Amino acid sequence: NEQELVVQALLPVLKDHLDAAAIAKLIEVPKTSDLGDYAFPTFTLAKIFRQAPQQIAADLAPKINADNFEKVQAVGPYINFFLDKAQFSHQLLQTILQQAEHYGDANLGQQGQVPIDMSSPNIAKPISMGHLRSTVIGNSLANILTKVGYKPVKINHLGDWGTQFGKLIVGYKKWGSEAAVKADPITNLLKYYVKFHQEDQAHPELDDEARDWFVKLEAGDDEAIKLWTWFRKVSLQEFMKIYDMLDIQFDSYKGEAFYNDKMAEVVQMLEDKKLLKKSQGAEIVDLSAYNLNPALIKKSDGATLYITRDLAAAIYRKRTYHFVQSLYVVGNEQRDHFKQLKAVLKEMGFDWADDIHHIPFGLITENGKKLSTRQGRVILLENVLNDAVDLAHKQIDAKNPDLANKDQVANDVGIGAVVFHDLKNERLNNFDFNLEDVVRFEGETGPYVQYTNARAQSILRKAGVDLKQQTDYTLADRSAWDVLKQLAEFPDMIIRASKEYEPSVIAKYALRLAKNFNKYYANTKVLVADAEKPARLAMVASVSQVLTQSLALLGVHAPKEM
């Protein structure tokens, strides 16, 4: 890479004092490219040379072999390096066009498997904005990890077990009907659940009934199982509509219920390791050594809990996938749960507990307020996505009424806007959701990036040249420099995003590239016939390719026209 060129140029004149690694650490990137592409500050050399830094820079600069650079220049206490634009552009554009969608591939993961626990909504409840975040962040991480050589396994750990199913059965039997559930499953099932919570204040006997039904369910009672299976099926059908809209697929839908017959072994292991303690009739694992609350493994009535199922799931995933990392994309409010999960696994002697990573994220708010199912403050995701598509449709009708496949493009733009908006925010930040802001064609939005890509595509269509016939991509024009340098950063961005589990790195990169490209395009006549025209078009094609790739990594489609 280019920084290595700078190190190699400095090494001969500094080798008595600094090694390559020490030099590399000192190299900076100047704020603006008129100060060069890299700068070496001479402050640290002042002690060694017993000279003023300015003097050192002025003395050393002429001694440096500048063959690989446009120029090497001392400015104050810095030695500034200007990359050779002709050489840089030619190599870069050739690489991008040749490698096509493989530009930026890496092999950090060496094909190691990585289960990603993502989406994981609860049966009989609507998918919340929080589940949307988990879904799109998980999906993007899967794409990013694939790009750097891992094999992700996308697992939808459905919330399909727990005492709430006792409540739901009671609610359904008291206030529900088959026809209502068939007509609109989630809305009606949620209604029964909410009504249960309104009524049980005045009628505590409802709670006993619910507990009985859950006990029956756990014991495999026919009627209970039949209802549960049906609720699960119709809920999943509703969830699939949203996954289809988002174009997101899963490798597994093994939810909490899948682990019902796998928990006895876990409890046995805990017992064998003498980790279980009785506390008020319940079985717990003491985690005070980790500064955590005890993990509640079994209730006094024998019922198992969320964490018991997660312990069984973690062990199952290790045995099934031999994972090198195991990710859980779940809201920040479950932070303690995952700390407990890891701690219990550690206590059990599993050293792979360190490979488990909770990937938390912040809340989506509406006018600064938290949304919650219990109080009925939900935004129905399906409505959000449909509204976004409608809004995109209106914008396209206004801007480009004759566009072919308008419906498809409106889908790509509307859905893409919601996904992009979610991913451009750093994972842990809370953010407010306002549809109009999300679907705008200008500003820091997905449609803006898509629109920039479509514009690049239209330039290429107009030019009508075959870039594959091209052999020289030299583009020394100063105005192209920022775009070229940014194109070269793409592989590093992917690696950073994968290490930080942070899709926003890619989203922000795409926004910056789109902005730089639009600035370039506003000031340069790309199609004018001169010696650099083919290289300019190669750059336009490269921008489109990298923007398309960036969007794909986020799980957003890139229409060629819009």
Q: Which two tokens stand for residue 261?
A: 């017959």
Contact (Cβ atoms closer than 8 angstroms) between residue 106 and residue 494: yes
Cα–Cα distance measured from residue 180 to residue 187, given in angstroms and rounded to the nearest whole number: 9
Give the ranges where 439-503 is alpha helix by DSSP (H).
446-463, 481-500
Among 37, 117, 482, 502, binds ligand ARG (CB under 6 A): 117
Looking at the Cβ atoms of 132 and 419, the one nearer to ligand ARG is 132
Cα–Cα distance measured from residue 236 to residue 239, given in angstroms and rounded to the nearest whole number: 5
Of 119-127, 319-327, 397-405, 547-555, which segment contacts ligand ARG by CB under 6 A? 119-127
> Which candidate, 179, 168, 246, 251, places its Cα nearest to that of 210?
168
Residue that is written with structure tokens 């926003």 in the block: 504
Contact (Cβ atoms closer than 8 angstroms) between residue 308 and residue 267: yes
> What is the CA 288 to chain-centroid distance, rounded?
33
Of 53-61, 100-108, 113-121, 264-272, which segment contacts ligand ARG by CB under 6 A? 113-121
Site size toward ligand ARG, by CB under 6 A: 10
156 binds ligand ARG (CB under 6 A): no
Looking at the Cβ atoms of 147 and 358, the one nearer to ligand ARG is 358
Of 81-89, 114-122, 389-397, 471-479, which segment contacts ligand ARG by CB under 6 A? 114-122
Q: What is the DSSP letter of 469?
A: G
328 binds ligand ARG (CB under 6 A): yes
Of 116-124, 497-505, 520-528, 532-540, which segment contacts ligand ARG by CB under 6 A? 116-124
Residues 157-186, interacting with ligand ARG (CB under 6 A): 157, 159
Looking at the Cβ atoms of 230 and 316, the one nearer to ligand ARG is 316
Contact (Cβ atoms closer than 8 angstroms) between residue 242 and residue 129: no
Q: CB of 317: closest distance to ligand ARG in angstroms?
A: 10
Among 330, 385, 511, 535, binds ligand ARG (CB under 6 A): 330
122 binds ligand ARG (CB under 6 A): yes
Closest residue to ligand ARG, based on beta-carbon distance: 159
308 binds ligand ARG (CB under 6 A): no
Of 39-47, 115-123, 439-447, 509-517, which segment contacts ligand ARG by CB under 6 A? 115-123
Cα–Cα distance measured from residue 451 to residue 157, given in angstroms and rounded to the nearest whole number: 36
Looking at the Cβ atoms of 157 and 232, the one nearer to ligand ARG is 157
Q: CB of 358: closest distance to ligand ARG in angstroms?
A: 9
Of 89-97, 118-126, 208-216, 429-437, which segment contacts ligand ARG by CB under 6 A? 118-126
Cα–Cα distance measured from residue 99 to residue 7, given in angstroms and rounded to the nearest whole number: 27
Q: CB of 118: closest distance to ligand ARG in angstroms?
A: 8
Please, which contacts does 291-296 make with residues 24 or more away whose CB atoms are closer than 8 Å?
292/336, 292/339, 292/340, 292/343, 293/336, 293/340, 295/340, 295/341, 295/343, 295/344
The residues, any chain, with a CB within 8 Å of residue 487's CB and separated by 6 or more, are 92, 96, 513, 539, 542, 543, 546
Q: Which two tokens stand for residue 489?
A: 């950063």
Looking at the Cβ atoms of 190 and 553, the one nearer to ligand ARG is 190
Looking at the Cβ atoms of 56 and 118, the one nearer to ligand ARG is 118
Residues in the chain: 562
120 binds ligand ARG (CB under 6 A): yes
Cα–Cα distance measured from residue 497 to residue 486, given in angstroms and rounded to the nearest whole number: 16
Looking at the Cβ atoms of 147 and 157, the one nearer to ligand ARG is 157
> Which candidate, 261, 166, 256, 260, places its Cα nearest to that of 215?
166
Residues lying near ligand ARG in the complex (CB under 6 A) are found at: 117, 120-122, 157, 159, 310, 313, 328, 330
